[in-house]
């Protein structure tokens, strides 16, 4: 049996979401059609939109359905940049967190390479926070050139939860729109779009118990976006394409359940997370968690995130050794062109490259139990020993 500790990558569908999606898969109807079956599908979509909006503190008209977090990030970054630049050619600067997901980073790099954008990377503290003063200083150098600020709500690797409201307030002091990638946050920590002051917020279903392939970009009505796709003009003319009614109802059902059970689930996951971190650090004296970690706290670190540094190891070696022992997890690092690279998140936080190579991301979710923690701790000592021997052999 496999112990699954990679919920930050994707989490199993909640039974209620799977049942709702399966039922809708048996019903024909394109929600853009005007006949009876089309109108019935449209009703399901709009009711789901209302449920999602209530869960994230938004108006239904602000929820634009997409295929997931990557598309939402691309639409937010590219669409806002193009709209702002078209209205004012001087608006070419993007202020972006150095620890963002690659869906944001690569969108920015594309705009820099092909559309004349300029980027200012916002460096985090050693715990992964971007301070409001850092953002203010970056804007203040040339406020009239800024097109967009993009800072994620909760980091997908180390679990750091930003003070999004304080950061959005700084952006708005200068009249700059603010985007946040909330893919890891929604359904796991309290998220209120309206109260946060953000202008655009990316969300996906498969991180919170819904299906893969559906998400949303929550967009304030006054925000201006240039569409990435053109066709039928669905979703406020912002995102054309036939809506996936079964996936959308699965998304809404999962989000409602995740929101309703958040308080109890947070307490349960924090206890498991803290146990996992404590027991992992007991395996070897130099194993330590990254980011900010206080026992019992889920306000500054995601409740299910146990990201560890294991000095003297290569994270990929640990991953494969743990996988062979029946433990599914990740390193949190990127692998480009077949060459393992240390995580850009850890490097931006000031962690030395040699230590960053030993990252291990263990993430818990709604199916996690003490047995999963036991499985990791049982397998970890041998995996660490073998991974360290392998690195030493490679070095020599």
**What was the pLDDT predicted at 335?**
46
Q: Are residues 56 and 170 in the same domain?
A: yes
Q: Which domain holds residue 146?
A: 15-259
**Domain endpoint, select from 221, 240, 259:** 259
Specify whether 220 is located in the same domain as 302. no
Q: What's the mean pLDDT in 255-266?
A: 98
* Coil/strand/helix, residue 332: coil
pLDDT of residue 392: 82
How confident is the model over 183-240, as pLDDT tens digits?
A: 999 999 999 999 999 999 999 999 999 999 999 999 999 999 999 999 999 999 999 9
According to DSSP, residue 33 is labeled: -
Q: Annotated catalytic, 335? A: yes
334 in a structural domain? yes
Query: Model confidence over 77-86: pLDDT tens digits?
Result: 999 999 999 9
Residues 352 and 209 in one domain: no
At 331, which CATH number? Answer: 3.90.1150.10
Question: Is residue 157 within 8 Å of residue 289, measured between CB atoms?
Answer: no
- Provide the β-strand partners of residue 305: 363
- The continuous run of DSSP H or E covering 218 comes out as strand 215-219
Share of the chain above pLDDT 70, in %: 98
Q: Which of residues 259, 291, 318 is at a domain's end?
A: 259
Q: What is the pLDDT of residues 304-338, one digit of tens each?
A: 999 999 999 999 999 999 999 999 999 975 444 45
Q: Which residues are CB-neighbours of 369 under 8 A, at least 6 positions away?
A: 272
Residue 357 tokens read as 């190579």
Within a domain: 5:
no
pLDDT digits (tens, 9 = 90+) for 128-156: 999 999 999 999 999 999 999 999 999 99
**CATH number, domain containing residue 138:** 3.40.640.10
Q: What is the pLDDT of residue 341?
A: 82
- Mean pLDDT of the region 238-263: 98
Residue 115, SS3 per DSSP: coil
Side-chain half-sphere exposure of 302, counting CA atoms within 13 A: 32
Q: Find the catalytic residue in 55, 313, 329, 335.
A: 335
Other beta carbons less than 10 A from residue 268's beta carbon: 17
Average pLDDT of every residue of the chain: 96
Q: How many domains would you assign to the chain?
A: 2
Instruction: Give the model's pLDDT for residue 2.
Output: 87
Co-location of 64 and 117 in the same domain: yes
Q: pTM value?
A: 0.96
Q: What is the pLDDT of residue 336?
A: 46
Helix 15-25 and helix 245-260, axial crossing angle in degrees, nearest 10 = 160
With a cut of 60, say whether residue 170 has pLDDT above it. yes
**Contact between residue 315 and residue 331 where contact means Cβ atoms under 8 Å apart:** yes
Q: Identify the domain boundary among 240, 259, 278.
A: 259
Structure tokens at 142: 């040339």
**Is the pLDDT confidence value at 339 over 80?**
no
Q: Does residue 27 have a pLDDT over 90? A: yes
């Amino acid at each position: 049996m496999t112990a699954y500790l990679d919920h930050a990558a994707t989490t199993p569908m909640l039974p209620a979401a799977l049942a709702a999606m399966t039922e809708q898969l048996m019903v024909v109807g394109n929600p853009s059609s005007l006949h009876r079956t089309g109108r019935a599908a449209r009703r399901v979509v709009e009711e789901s939109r209302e449920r999602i909006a209530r869960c994230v503190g938004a108006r239904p008209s602000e929820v634009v359905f997409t295929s997931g977090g990557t598309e939402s990030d691309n639409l937010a970054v590219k669409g806002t940049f193009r709209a702002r630049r078209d209205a004012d050619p001087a608006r070419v600067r993007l202020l972006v967190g150095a620890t963002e997901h690659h869906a944001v980073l690569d969108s920015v790099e594309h705009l820099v390479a092909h559309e004349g954008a300029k980027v200012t990377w916002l460096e985090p503290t050693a715990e992964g926070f971007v301070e409001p003063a850092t953002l203010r200083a970056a804007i203040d150098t040339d406020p009239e050139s800024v097109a967009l600020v993009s800072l994620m709500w909760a980091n997908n690797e180390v679990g750091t939860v930003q003070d999004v409201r304080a950061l959005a307030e700084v952006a708005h002091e200068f009249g700059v729109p603010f985007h946040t990638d909330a893919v890891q946050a929604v359904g796991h920590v309290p998220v209120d779009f309206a109260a946060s002051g953000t202008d655009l917020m990316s969300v996906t279903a498969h991180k919170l118990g819904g299906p893969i392939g559906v998400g949303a970009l929550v967009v304030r009505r006054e925000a201006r976006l240039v569409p990435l796709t053109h066709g039928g003009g669905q979703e406020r003319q912002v995102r054309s394409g036939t809506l996936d009614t079964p996936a959308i109802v699965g998304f809404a059902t999962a989000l409602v359940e995740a929101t309703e059970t958040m308080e109890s689930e947070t307490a349960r996951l924090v206890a498991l997370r803290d146990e996992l971190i404590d027991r992992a650090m007991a395996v070897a004296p130099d194993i330590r968690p990254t980011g900010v970690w206080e026992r019992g706290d889920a306000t500054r670190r995601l409740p299910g995130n146990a990201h560890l540094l294991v000095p003297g190891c290569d994270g990929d070696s640990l991953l494969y050794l743990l996988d062979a022992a029946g433990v599914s997890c990740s390193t949190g690092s990127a692998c480009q062109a077949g060459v393992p690279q240390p995580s850009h998140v850890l490097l931006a936080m000031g962690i030395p490259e040699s230590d960053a190579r030993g990252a291990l991301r263990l993430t818990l979710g709604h199916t996690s139990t003490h047995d999963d923690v036991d499985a990791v701790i049982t397998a970890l000592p041998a995996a660490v020993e073998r991974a360290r021997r392998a690195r030493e052999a490679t070095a020599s």
